[in-house]
A and B are shown apart, each in its own frame.
Chain A
Amino acid sequence: SYELTQPPSVSVSPGQTARITCSGDALPKQYAYWYQQKPGQAPVLVIYKDSERPSGIPERFSGSSSGTTVTLTISGVQAEDEADYYCQSADSSGTVVFGGGTKLTVL
């Protein structure tokens, strides 16, 4: 199986831009997905297919891909964005992998 690597933590002040990266050798061939998880709650899908945003997700959430790295960008970070963020991918053999997660702290 393959791995997805995320930084353990990212800190940003309110109103600034947060960027969370996810790296993996399989990412040039597979889509990446991003989830937000707040304490005691189930994960919420915020980005699919590298850069698509589900309905109901604020426009300040965006995704991009370049080579073996995908990036979740949160523009104009708000206090409510403080959460754990996970990247995820899946291959054609049915294997699903999650990154280790990144704790976003809003200072």
Chain B
Amino acid sequence: EVQLVESGGGLVQPGGSLRLSCAASRFTFSSYGMTWVRQAPGKGLEWVSAISGSGGSAYYADSVKGRFTISRDNSKNTLYLQMTSLRAEDTAVYYCAKVYCSSTSCPTVGAFDIWGQGTMVTVSS
């Protein structure tokens, strides 16, 4: 079964840093764009960042641009999100997700067909 497992969440003080990981299994990781989506407690989904299969292209929401960095290690089938200068409003469950590819197209962003279970990040003093 295709699977994504996030880790690295926790409690961090405002201004601090944290690195999230997303371990992928049972699919050709390097062939797919990947994304991070977050959900603050009781709120809706918010897209954070996306990266192409090769890692050569990365995209960010305005709310995290300049503070968060997405990356991937295709040899380890792992996606990362390095978060710096964290704020209280970054408190959320962070999900990684895999882009859906059809037989004719495999974009970096589009529909996301496989999601991890999420990892909670709490920014508080």
A residues apposed to B, CB below 8 Å: 1, 31, 33, 35, 37, 42-45, 48-49, 54, 84, 86, 88, 90, 93-101
Judging by beta carbons under 8 Å apart, are B46 and A43 in contact?
Answer: no
Closest residue of chain B to A96 (Cβ to Cβ) is B47
State A45–B59 Cα separation when bound (angstroms): 21
Report B57 CB to chain A, min CB distance, Å: 7
State A97–B57 Cα separation when bound (angstroms): 18
Closest residue of chain A to B45 (Cβ to Cβ) is A98
State A90–B57 Cα separation when bound (angstroms): 15
Judging by beta carbons under 8 Å apart, are A96 and B116 in contact?
Answer: no
**B contact residues around A48 at 8 Å (CB):** 100, 110-111, 113
Judging by beta carbons under 8 Å apart, are B111 and A94 in contact?
Answer: no
Judging by beta carbons under 8 Å apart, are B95 and A42 in contact?
Answer: yes
